[in-house]
Amino acid sequence: MKVSRAQAEENRERILDSAAKLFRERGFDGVGLNELMQSAGLTRGGFYGHFESKDDLAAQACARALQSNRELWKLQTDQSLDAWVKAYLSDLHRDHPGQGCAFAALASDAARSGPAVREVFAAGVQNLVTALQPHMPGDQTEHRRAKAMAMLSTLVGALLLSRAVGDHDLSHELREAALNWLPAGAS
């Protein structure tokens, strides 16, 4: 049965949303095409009508997750950088990678992926640094940019390690240390 263009686009959007969540939860290799399509309410047979390969889907799903993160983070940082930082390093964010930061969830996967995924990650980093930069202290643009990069690296690293250690106290200590280390005026 042939589907309409509108239905095909809706199906594609469901696949991207499901992939963005599942990849953040389990990584690119932790999710098979059957499961991915099933989570979108579709069969595997329709996959190649939407994407050239799983790598193509990974790049597009990362772009989707990073854009969603950026929009939310821009809104939150415009309201309160301090509140955003605390939410980023919270137990809730640590415990729900499928709805959280694609950088912390997928950076190691992206590093082993093809150029399309790495390009998406590079653009995502640039976009988030640009969003954080105006909130950093200092007069010179390059200093605020460097502080935004350091802040992003500190946050992602602390969240990534806090998920990896499996020790609640150490996880908390890592995130607290990051909070205390951030540039002045950023927490």
In a domain, 104, yes or no: yes
In a domain, 39, yes or no: no
Q: Which of 37, 52, 62, 50 is nearest to 7 (CA)?
A: 50
Report the pLDDT value the prediction gives residue 183, as an integer from 0 to 100.
59
Q: How far apart are CA 143 and CA 22, in angstroms?
A: 37
Interacting residues of 67 by C-beta distance below 8 A, sequence separation 6+: none
Quote the Cα angle for 151-19-68, to 5°. 40
In a domain, 93, yes or no: yes
Output the pTM of the full model: 0.86
Q: How far apart are CA 37 and CA 19, in angstroms?
A: 9
Q: Which of 70, 77, 92, 104 is nearest to 186 (CA)?
A: 77
Q: How far apart are CA 187 and CA 170, in angstroms?
A: 21
Q: How far apart are CA 47 and CA 107, in angstroms?
A: 25
In a domain, 43, yes or no: no
In a domain, 168, yes or no: yes
Q: How many domains does the chain have?
A: 1
Interacting residues of 130 by C-beta distance below 8 A, sequence separation 6+: 148
Q: Which of 69, 57, 3 is nearest to 32 (CA)?
A: 57
Report the pLDDT value the prediction gives residue 187, as an integer from 0 to 100.
43
Query: Tokens at residue 5, please?
Result: 């263009």
How many CB atoms neighbour CB 132 within 10 A? 23
CATH code at position 177: 1.10.357.10
The pLDDT profile of the chain, 187 residues, written as one tens digit per residue, is 677 889 889 989 999 999 999 999 999 999 999 999 999 988 888 888 899 999 999 999 999 999 988 888 888 888 888 888 999 999 999 999 999 999 999 999 999 999 999 999 999 999 999 989 998 988 899 999 999 999 999 999 999 999 999 899 999 999 999 998 885 444 4
In a domain, 26, yes or no: no
Residue with token string 């995924």: 117
In a domain, 22, yes or no: no
In a domain, 7, yes or no: no
Number of H helices, E strands in the chain: 9, 0
Cα–chain center distance at 134? 21
Range of the domain at 105: 54-181
Report the pLDDT value the prediction gives residue 7, as an integer from 0 to 100.
86
